[in-house]
Amino acid sequence: MLNNIVFTLSPVAFNIGSIEIRWYGLLFATGLFMAGWYVWGQFKQKGISQRVFENLFIYVFIGIFVGARLGHCLFYETEYYLSNPLEIFLPITIYPDGEWEFIGYHGLASHGAGVGLIIALLIYGWQHSISILPAIDIIAIATPLCGAFIRMGNFTNSEIVGIETAMPWGIIFPQVDLLVRHPAQLYEAIYYLFCFSIAAYLYHKHYKINLPGYYLGFVIVLIMTFRFFIEWFKMPQEAFEEQMTFNMGQILSIPYVIIGIWLMVRKPKATQPISIFANNIE
């Protein structure tokens, strides 16, 4: 029979002077690199230049970060961040006496990241008068790959922990308490790797027969349906969620699923706008 694991790994990988470099940050960067590597491979096969890819990557990075940060600050800690707006985008905490401390970015919401990503890419498409949906399909497929690494980062931070469990694979997070809990972060990480694998396989086999945006919808439905149910195995992220029938993560997942289904079943228009893959904008 398995023994419960006591998770004792420090969240800090190493220090550079007084600045802590956390496993979370390293895993987040690794996830972005792996997702970017997959996207670049797909773009290259379709004739997209490296310059276009690099421009898109800048939009992607900004969209994900801004959306994720705003999503957390506005949906989970609204009152605090409206009173301390500088802390939304500065990785510091400002104390009442005017002193400040570098703490990194504590609080990124995946639902906000999704909105930010799509808005950023739509802006890119509007600026160049092209349909960006075919590119968004590929980026959407790579997104759960990045998400898997982010959830492993959450695991190293002992955050987004699961509820108590008697299962033998339960984990004790001493930084939180001494209870045996579901490793909800690892459940998500494993599932996201599965999402990436199945979406990448289906895209490789059938991308020519599906309308642009189909795989975006497919990935959204896969991820957000799972997110709705996995929330039952997590501790509330904020105190106000304790009295809610459905927590904030579940509420925010519902419109995503609806939009995802619409993207998958919608009918093609008589004329389609020029795709980024048909008009390689420099």
pLDDT in tens, 155-199: 999 999 999 999 999 999 999 999 999 999 999 999 999 999 999
Tell me: pLDDT of 142 over 50.
Answer: yes
13-45 tens-digit pLDDT? 998 887 888 999 899 999 999 999 999 999 999
74-107 tens-digit pLDDT? 887 778 778 778 777 777 677 777 777 666 666 7
Query: What end-to-end distance do the CA atoms of the chain give, in Å?
Result: 59
CA distance 234 to 171: 13
pTM above 0.75, yes or no: yes
Note the pLDDT of residue 115.
87
- Count other Cβ atoms within 10 Å, centred on residue 281: 16
Return the domain boundaries, the chain.
15-158+183-227+249-265
Note the pLDDT of residue 281.
52
Over the chain, what HEC string results?
CCCCEECCCCCEEEEECCEEEEHHHHHHHHHHHHHHHHHHHHHHHCCCCHHHHHHHHHHHHHHHHHHHHHHHHHHCCHHHHHHCCHHHHCCEEECCCCCEEECCCCCCCHHHHHHHHHHHHHHHHHHHCCECHHHHHHHHHHHHHHHHHHHHHHHHCCCCCECECCCCCCEECCCCCCCEECCHHHHHHHHHHHHHHHHHHHHHHHHHHCCCCHHHHHHHHHHHHHHHHHHHHECCCCHHHHHCCCCHHHHHHHHHHHHHHHHHHCCCCCCCCCECCCCCCC
Tell me: pLDDT of 1 over 50.
Answer: no
43-75 tens-digit pLDDT? 999 888 888 888 888 998 899 888 988 888 888
